[in-house]
Amino acid sequence: MVPAITLSRHKFKKSVMLSVFNLVLPFFGLIFLGFFVARINHQPLEALGWMNTFIIYVALPALFFQILSKTPVAELTQWNFILGCTLSTFAIFLTIFLIAFARTRKIDESTIQGLAGAYGNIGYMGPALAILAFGASAAVPVALIFCFDNTLHFVMAPLLMALSGNDKRSTRDVTISVLRKIFGHPFIIATIMGVGAAILGVEPPVAIDRMIDLLAKAAAPCALFAMGATLALRPLRRVPKELYLIVPIKLLVQPLLIYWVLNLAGNFPPVWIYTAMLMAALPTATNVFVIAQHYGVWVERASSSILATTLFSIATLTLWLYFMTHGLIP
């Protein structure tokens, strides 16, 4: 006869895992829906154009503005946190870049591989998943990571492509292009406006505030659906050997590194550390494919990296969230 205490522990563990699955599966469910609909509907990739425009230029900026405009200003100046997260991301990028360069001697290919291993889906998946998992207190670290990690990637890609000779533009043109990408990106603009609103204590009129709320709520479903559809229209034709390195580093090593660095950098609230780990554990961003396509380098393998890390992250994100939400990471 099984003791009652053993049964109760078994039920508790089962309910804990069920709660984590209930948290994660809706996100991957939306990705799967996008994947499934794209497979059966046979629309070209260009058909996603206006949805992606809505996501990038309207819905996600509304989400970032809504989060940041209601955040205490003191929380937006955690420079040790910003430095720790950004340096961790750069360390992962540099590691994969150097390994790739030692093998290929090609700066442009090595750059895309570095991005595939370090540039997570912090725009489409990060905000909604982190806030749902850890509550509103995750909003500030999400926004800080997004802003500074994106700035890092916007700088690194054109700089290294220029050094490789792939980008034929002058130094002046590359610099102007980088600045435009940073300060002209809708997410960065929304971040600046949100921080400005928080500092000045400005609140939008009720009608506009309600519209922002509607747009913010549409961000995650639309972004995840579009991501699934994009993956369906860029199928995995073969498994590049580089993925055997990129997948574990992106999904396992990067979150462990950021945990170690942040514990050295300062005494941050657990929710900030968990949020940073979750953002680091996200699969490769679809922007990596866009960058690869723009420069005509490592295009098919960049697409494979996104699909492979997304598939494996179903398991790894579930495990990370289980550890974080139940106190198994000190």
Quote the pLDDT of residue 3: 56
DSSP category for residue 45: G
d(CA 183, CA 173): 15
Give residue 289's identity as a one-letter amino acid code: F
At 20-70, the pLDDT tens digits run 778 788 888 898 999 999 999 888 888 888 988 898 899 988 988 887 888
3-state secondary structure of 121: coil
Quote the pLDDT of residue 162: 82
What pairs with residue 284 in β-bridges? 120
Only one residue has tokens 């670290």, namely 141
3-state secondary structure of 284: strand
223 and 34 Cβ atoms separated by less than 8 Å: no
Quote the pLDDT of residue 180: 84
The runs of H, that is alpha helices, within the chain are: 4-41, 49-54, 60-69, 79-104, 107-118, 126-134, 139-164, 171-183, 186-200, 206-233, 243-248, 254-265, 270-280, 287-295, 299-325
Quote the pLDDT of residue 240: 85
Structural domains in the chain, sorted by start: 45-226+242-326 (1.20.1530.20)
Indicate if the alpha-carbon torsion angle 84, 85, 87, 92 is positive or negative: positive
Quote the pLDDT of residue 7: 44
Quote the pLDDT of residue 56: 83
Quote the pLDDT of residue 83: 96
d(CA 147, CA 275): 14
What pairs with residue 107 in β-bridges? none
Low-confidence spans in the chain with pLDDT less than 70: 1-17, 237
d(CA 159, CA 54): 29
Quote the pLDDT of residue 258: 98
